Amino acid sequence: MMLRRVSGVVAMLAIALWLGGLIVLGALVAPVIFSQVSMPWSADAMTVVFQRFDGIAMSCAAALLATEAARAIGRMPFAPVDHLRAAASVLAAGGAVYEGVSLSPRIATLHAEGAVRGLGSAGMELSKLHDLAELLGKTEAALLVVVVVLQVLGATPRERK
């Protein structure tokens, strides 16, 4: 019982930081920076911001996966809602790791090489990678909301009090 509560708290804190960051960066910071700061400085700034956030997101993903592993070890068998929550957690974590290890570094490299979204072959690649990163961020956010909902649904009536 204590393991379940502690893992639930750790999972929710990790999700809050990760999901909150995704929302703030995607809905507030990036649109404001790109509309108020001239190129290439806006892209320079957002490259640094996203690289730093990738580390936070991957750390939160690791914490979330660690809580799922602790739950699996401490409480077998899983209920169906637990399997769904774990699957959504793994998918979201996979997205964060892919973004942090592959997409963001490639976007940063293209930007550093002078690529401009939509211009030339490097710009087309940059645009494609940016669109994929945006889609992954939205997918991660949706999956994290699902994890929260499944966390609540999986709690026993006594734990909800």
Alpha carbons 32 and 133: distance in angstroms, whole number: 18
Q: Is the pLDDT of residue 2 over 50?
A: yes
Instruction: Quote the tokens at residue 85.
Output: 């929550």
Please state whether 118 falls in left (phi above 0), alpha (psi between -120 and 50) or beta: left
Enter the pTM of the model: 0.86
pLDDT in tens, 68-125: 888 888 765 677 888 899 999 999 999 999 999 999 999 999 999 988 888 999 999 9
Polymer length in residues for the chain: 161
